[in-house]
Chains A and B, each alone.
Chain A
Amino acid sequence: MPIVVNLDVMMAKRKMSLNELSEKVGLTLSNLSILKTGKAKAVRFSTLETICEVLECQPGDILEYVE
């Protein structure tokens, strides 16, 4: 899929662990892992909103289109 999820990059920039993000966003570790590894088929706006809020970033920082 040409959409790449850069969640791990943003997490590293904010020095945040997966457990911490999971607690703050309210998602399970397995769901976050699915998102991080790019296995997810879709992302809800509400999820994206919360992740952006917690990581203090824009959706474009997390999602990237690569040809």
Chain B
Amino acid sequence: MKTTFILKLMNVLFWIIFIGLCIKTGALLVSFFVTLFINSDGAADTYMGLDLLDIYNFNVEYYIGIASFLITLSALKAYLAYLVVKLFLKFDLNQPFNEYTASLITEISYYALSIGVVAIIAENYGGRIMKQGITIQIDWGAEQFLFFAGIIYIIALVFKKGVEIQNENELTI
């Protein structure tokens, strides 16, 4: 009863996170195109007070690079949240070990890993820009996602083994 409630609550939470990340990605995209083609002052408030005007004024290519990383990461995170929502929709506590859940958890771990890798590249790219005297206050969160990917991958392996054991158990007469 308690577990079912927690699962439902987490499902609602992940829906909120998914929608929030979709809005964030959309806002970043709109802000990016507005800054590039309509008004460069848009870089001053890219999203929720994120100021990229200094970078834009310093070098437009750097601005495009940083904004692209932000948009890519936000889109990847939104898709990751979507996968988690899908997992919660199909998750059956009575029969948790099935092929679908196992493959979905594996996919989540791969996406978390790719977010971590993209975040590391973004961090290094930002570091290179900062060496030229520009301050970038963005937490890319690479370490968290790599750690998350590792843990989820281990859970995916456990699930795969669980599916094998369950299949074997079902075929034991």
Q: How many residues of B contact A (CB 8 A)?
A: 5
Inter-chain contact A44/B171, CB cutoff 8 Å:
no
Q: Mark A11-46, 1 if CB is under 8 A from B, else 0.
A: 000000000000000010001101100011111100
A47 contacts chain B at the CB level, 8 A cutoff: yes
Chain A: CB-nearest residue to B171: A41
Q: Mark B141-173, 1 if CB is under 8 A from A, else 0.
A: 000000000000000000000000001100111
How far does the Cβ of A7 sit from chain B's closest Cβ, in whole Å? 10
- In the assembled complex, the Cα of A16 lies from the Cα of B159 at a distance in Å of 42
Chain A: CB-nearest residue to B172: A42
Interface of B is mostly: mixed
Sort chain A's interface into a size bin. Answer: 10 to 19
How far does the Cβ of B169 sit from chain A's closest Cβ, in whole Å? 9
- B residues 101-158 in Cβ contact with A at 8 Å: none
**Which residues in B have their C-beta under 8 angstroms from that of A43?**
172-173
Q: Which of B167, B168, B173 contacts A34 (CB 8 A)?
A: B173
- In the assembled complex, the Cα of A41 lies from the Cα of B170 at a distance in Å of 9
- A residues 43-66 in Cβ contact with B at 8 Å: 43-44, 47
**Which residues in A have their C-beta under 8 angstroms from that of B167?**
41
**Which residues in B have their C-beta under 8 angstroms from that of A27?**
173
How far does the Cβ of A36 sit from chain B's closest Cβ, in whole Å? 10
**Which residues in A have their C-beta under 8 angstroms from that of B172?**
40-44
Q: Which of A31, A41, A44, A47 contacts B168 (CB 8 A)?
A: A41
- In the assembled complex, the Cα of A47 lies from the Cα of B173 at a distance in Å of 7
- In the assembled complex, the Cα of A54 lies from the Cα of B167 at a distance in Å of 28
- In the assembled complex, the Cα of A42 lies from the Cα of B172 at a distance in Å of 5
How far does the Cβ of B114 sit from chain A's closest Cβ, in whole Å? 36
How far does the Cβ of B167 sit from chain A's closest Cβ, in whole Å? 8
- In the assembled complex, the Cα of A34 lies from the Cα of B172 at a distance in Å of 9
- Measuring CB to CB, which residues of chain A are less than 8 angstroms from any residue of chain B? 27, 31-32, 34-35, 39-44, 47
In the complex, 19 of the A-B residue pairs with CB atoms within 8 angstroms, ordered by the A residue number, are A27-B173, A31-B173, A34-B171, A35-B173, A39-B171, A40-B171, A40-B172, A40-B173, A41-B167, A41-B168, A41-B171, A41-B172, A42-B168, A42-B172, A42-B173, A43-B172, A43-B173, A44-B172, A44-B173
